[in-house]
Amino acid sequence: MNARTDLTSTFTDPDDLDNNRSANPHFQDVLNAGMSRRNLLRGSAGGALAAMFAPLALSGCGGGDNPAPAPAPVSPAPTETLLGFTAVAKTLADTNTVPAGYSASVILACGDPLAAGVPAYKNDGTDTGYDKRVGDCHDGIQYFGLSASGTRDDNSNARALLAMNHEYITPVVLHVNGGSPRPRPASEVDIEVDCHGITVAEVAKDAAGKFAAVVSSPFNRRITGSTAMELSGPARGHALFVTKFSPNGTRTRGTMNNCGNGKTLWGTLLTTEENWSGYYFRAAGDQAQRSAKLNASFARYGRNVTATSAANSRYGWETAGTGDLYARWNTSVVGTSTDGSDDYRHEWFCQGFMVEVDPYNATSVVKKRTGLGRFAHENSAFGLPVAGKPLAVYMGCDSQNEYVYKWVSAENWNPADANAADRLAVGDKYLDRGKLYVAKFNENGTGEWVELTVTNPAIAGAAFGFTDQAEIYIHTRIAADAVGATKMDRPEWVDVHPRTGELYITMTNNSSRRVAPTGTQTRVDAANPRAYVDVFAGQSTASGNVNGHIVRFKDASPEATSFNWDVYLFGGEAGADPKLVNLSGLTADQDFSSPDGLVFSRSTGLCWIQTDDGAYVDVTNCMLLAAIPGQLGDGSAVTLSYSGGVSVTTRMGAKPTAATLKRFYVGPYDCEVTGLCETPDGKTIFINIQHPGDGTTAANLGDPSKYTSQWPSIVGYGAGKRPRSATVVITKNDGGRVGT
Residues in the site for ligand FEO, rule: CB under 6 A?
A: 1, 15, 167, 259, 274, 378, 398, 492, 596
Of the pair 167, 471, the CB lying nearest ligand FEO is at: 167
CB-based closest residue to Ca ion: 612
DSSP strand pairing (513-514 vs 522-523): parallel
State how far the Cα of 248 lies from the Cα of 350, in Å rounded to an integer: 13
Of the pair 320, 673, the CB lying nearest ligand FEO is at: 673
Shortest CB 492 distance to Ca ion, Å = 5
State how far the Cα of 320 lies from the Cα of 184, in Å rounded to an integer: 5
Shortest CB 615 distance to ligand FEO, Å = 15
Q: Which partner in ligand FEO, Ca ion, none is near 507 (CB below 5 to 8 A by kind)?
A: none
Shortest CB 527 distance to ligand FEO, Å = 18
Minimal CA–CA distance to 731: which of 689, 690, 682, 688? 682
Shortest CB 130 distance to ligand FEO, Å = 20
Of the pair 492, 670, the CB lying nearest Ca ion is at: 492
Of the pair 490, 737, the CB lying nearest ligand FEO is at: 490
Of the pair 127, 596, the CB lying nearest Ca ion is at: 596
Q: Which partner in Ca ion, ligand FEO, none is near 167 (CB below 5 to 8 A by kind)?
A: ligand FEO
324: part of which helix (H) or strand (E)? Answer: helix 324-327
Of the pair 167, 417, the CB lying nearest ligand FEO is at: 167
Q: What dihedral angle (degrees, nearest 10) is formed by the CA atoms of 51, 56, 60, 63?
A: -170
Q: Which partner in Ca ion, ligand FEO, none is near 194 (CB below 5 to 8 A by kind)?
A: none
Report DSSP letters for 590-654, one per residue.
T-BS-EEEEEE-TTT--EEEEE--SSSTTT---EEEEE----TTSSEEEEEE-TTS-EEEEEEPP
Shortest CB 1 distance to Ca ion, Å = 6
* β strands within 501-620, DSSP E: 503-507, 513-514, 522-523, 532-536, 540-544, 549-555, 562-570, 595-600, 607-611
State how far the Cα of 713 lies from the Cα of 446, in Å rounded to an integer: 50
Say if residues 673 and 667 touch (Cβ distance below 8 Å).
yes
- β-bridge partners, 237: none
Amino acid identity at 516: A
Shortest CB 440 distance to ligand FEO, Å = 22
Say if residues 586 and 608 touch (Cβ distance below 8 Å).
no
Of the pair 259, 503, the CB lying nearest ligand FEO is at: 259
Say if residues 619 and 498 touch (Cβ distance below 8 Å).
no
Shortest CB 597 distance to ligand FEO, Å = 9
Of the pair 63, 262, the CB lying nearest ligand FEO is at: 262
Say if residues 393 and 381 touch (Cβ distance below 8 Å).
yes
Shortest CB 727 distance to ligand FEO, Å = 17
Q: What residues make contact with Ca ion under the rule CB under 5 A?
A: 259, 492, 596, 612
Say if residues 666 and 620 touch (Cβ distance below 8 Å).
yes
* β strands within 371-462, DSSP E: 381-382, 390-396, 400-402, 404-412, 434-441, 446-451
Shortest CB 274 distance to ligand FEO, Å = 5
State how far the Cα of 50 lies from the Cα of 701, in Å rounded to an integer: 53
Say if residues 439 and 485 touch (Cβ distance below 8 Å).
yes
* β strands within 88-177, DSSP E: 102-107, 138-145, 159-166
Shortest CB 679 distance to ligand FEO, Å = 25
Of the pair 610, 708, the CB lying nearest Ca ion is at: 610
Of the pair 274, 471, the CB lying nearest ligand FEO is at: 274
Say if residues 689 and 725 touch (Cβ distance below 8 Å).
yes
Shortest CB 488 distance to Ca ion, Å = 14
Of the pair 402, 591, the CB lying nearest ligand FEO is at: 402
Q: Which partner in Ca ion, ligand FEO, none is near 408 (CB below 5 to 8 A by kind)?
A: none
Shortest CB 616 distance to ligand FEO, Å = 17
Q: Which partner in ligand FEO, Ca ion, none is near 274 (CB below 5 to 8 A by kind)?
A: ligand FEO
Of the pair 194, 492, the CB lying nearest ligand FEO is at: 492
State how far the Cα of 420 lies from the Cα of 264, in Å rounded to an integer: 12
Say if residues 288 and 307 touch (Cβ distance below 8 Å).
yes
Minimal CA–CA distance to 594: which of 610, 582, 579? 610
Of the pair 396, 605, the CB lying nearest Ca ion is at: 396
Minimal CA–CA distance to 265: which of 455, 420, 86? 420
Sequence-distant (≥ 6) Cβ neighbours of residue 143 within 8 angstroms: 160, 161, 162, 263, 677, 678, 679, 686
Shortest CB 509 distance to Ca ion, Å = 9
State how far the Cα of 479 lies from the Cα of 463, in Å rounded to an integer: 11
